[in-house]
Amino acid sequence: MFYLDESGFSLIPSVPYGWQNIGEYIEVHSRSSRRLNVLGIMSRHNQLEAYVSTQSINADVVIACIDAFFPKWKNQQ
C-alpha cells in the first residue's frame, strides 16, 4: 500500500491569519515568488519518493509520477 499527496509552497502566505495571544499582533511578510509543487508517494515502511515541479499538479502529472514510480518500486521487491 502506498500513500500519495501533493502540496505547494511559495513565499506568499495562503492563510491571512495566525494563532497569537489576545491583543498580540503577528505580521506575516510576503513577497512574490514562484510556487513550488511537490508530489510524494510513501510506502507503509516510510520510504518516500518525491517529485518536485514548478508546473501545476494535474491529472497528467500525477499519472506521469505514478508511471515513473512503480517500475522503480517493482525492481526493489
Higher-pLDDT residue of 25 and 3 is 3
Domain that holds residue 21: 2-76
Can you give the pTM of this predicted structure? 0.71
Q: Are 70 and 60 in contact (CB under 8 A)?
A: no
Q: Are 37 and 53 in contact (CB under 8 A)?
A: yes
pLDDT digits (tens, 9 = 90+) for 17-64: 667 888 887 777 778 888 999 999 999 999 999 999 999 999 999 999
Tell me the mean pLDDT in the region 9-18.
Answer: 76
Q: How far is CA 38 from the centre of its chain?
A: 3
DSSP H/E element including 71: helix 59-76
**Residue 70 confidence (pLDDT):** 86
Number of domains, the chain: 1
Q: How many CB atoms lie within 10 A of CB 39?
A: 21
**Residue 25 confidence (pLDDT):** 79
